Amino acid sequence: MTAARNIQNIALIGFMGTGKSTVGRLIAEQLRFDFLDTDVLIEQRSGKRITEIFAQNGETAFRELEAQLVAELAARTQTIISTGGGLPTNPANLASLKAHSLVICLWASPERIYERVREQSHRPLLNDSDPLGKIRALLTAREKFYKQADVLINSDLRSAREVAQQVVNQFRLVTNPRK
């Protein structure tokens, strides 16, 4: 069975381009929590961009850095944690996040994701001759992990502010059910 939970934080999981960082910053502002982005922390610590880590050390090395970082997050309180899109595909990462965070998955259709990421080049997994096909394939493969979140929110038809408000409402319901 799942371990006992002590929910202190909010973790945002979900595919690239679903708005985790934008929404996470809005939630942090509203709740006056810290904001932390796992990709940014990995880049700061390694002194390399994610694309360089993938190119020079490989995806497996990147996943190890992610797992190390997730283990450290257990000490955090009052923090909004925005995670890299592939992070919850490691079940240990998801289990670890769930011990201290309400885990929210932001969901979007492949077409909407493609619209959001098409002008960007910092995501090695989407530097592909058929990025939309790659998005569809990865989303299908990852769906089972994303659906293990406590709450799933579709960001296709909502503004970042609306999504952020939904997350805040869910968090208040769980941490302070009487209000």
Binding site for ligand S3P (CB under 6 A): 16, 39, 50, 84-86, 123-125
Q: Which is nearer to ligand S3P, 9 or 82 (CB)?
A: 82
Q: Which is nearer to ligand S3P, 33 or 62 (CB)?
A: 62
Q: Which is nearer to ligand S3P, 92 or 173 (CB)?
A: 92
Distances (CA, A) of 176 to 34, 77, 120: 19, 16, 39
Kindly give the pairing relationship between strand 34-37 and strand 79-82.
parallel
* Minimum CB distance to ligand S3P, residue 124 (Å): 6
- What angle (nearest 5°) sits at the alpha carbon of residue 119, between those of residues 117 and 123? 55
Q: Which is nearer to ligand S3P, 100 or 123 (CB)?
A: 123
Sheet holding 101-107, edge to edge: 34-37, 79-82, 9-14, 101-107, 151-154
* Minimum CB distance to ligand S3P, residue 147 (Å): 16
* Minimum CB distance to ligand S3P, residue 100 (Å): 20
Whole-angstrom Cα distance, residue 164 to residue 48? 30
* Minimum CB distance to ligand S3P, residue 107 (Å): 13
Q: Which is nearer to ligand S3P, 84 or 110 (CB)?
A: 84
* Minimum CB distance to ligand S3P, residue 44 (Å): 14
